[in-house]
Amino acid sequence: MKCIAIILLYLIFNTEQCFCQPPSWFAGAGAGVTQLHTKESIGKVSTTSGQMAMVMAGVDIPLHGNLRPTVRATISGYSASFHTVKILVSDLSQSYTININSITPELSFLYNIVNKKLK
């Protein structure tokens, strides 16, 4: 996590001097449906659907003028929640709610294989 913060601060102050092309910033958000599979004590598998929200932001840093080698720094996060109610017997029911939150930093090296004829 500290590595990405250092890289981003370095880019903000030194982009013109160190790189051939300016960096490209990107951001995105979305929603989805996810599933949770549980195995009950009697061996029966139960599946519960839930909602999921995702956000992502990052920067692409070209390392050369031809834009082929690029370093990408991304931070993404998601939140998912599951809720279910099961009726065990006529008078007894069981319910649970699960909330999952995640923040993921990523640093990757990309090399684009593109020539002028394909553009």
Do the domain assignments include residue 116?
no
| pTM score over 0.85 | no
Domains contained in the chain, number: 1
pLDDT digits (tens, 9 = 90+) for 60-75: 888 876 667 888 999 9
Q: Which of 30-34, 41-45, 78-82 has the lowest mean pLDDT?
A: 41-45
Residue 91 falls within a domain, yes or no? yes
The residue range of the domain holding 78 is 2-111
pLDDT in tens, 94-110: 777 889 999 999 999 88
Residue 119 lies in a domain: no
In a domain, 117, yes or no: no
Does residue 79 lie within any of the structural domains? yes
118 assigned to some structural domain: no
- In angstroms, the Cα distances linking 46 to 42, 75, 86, 88, 100 are 11, 33, 10, 13, 18
d(CA 62, CA 70): 4
Token duo for residue 89: 């017997």
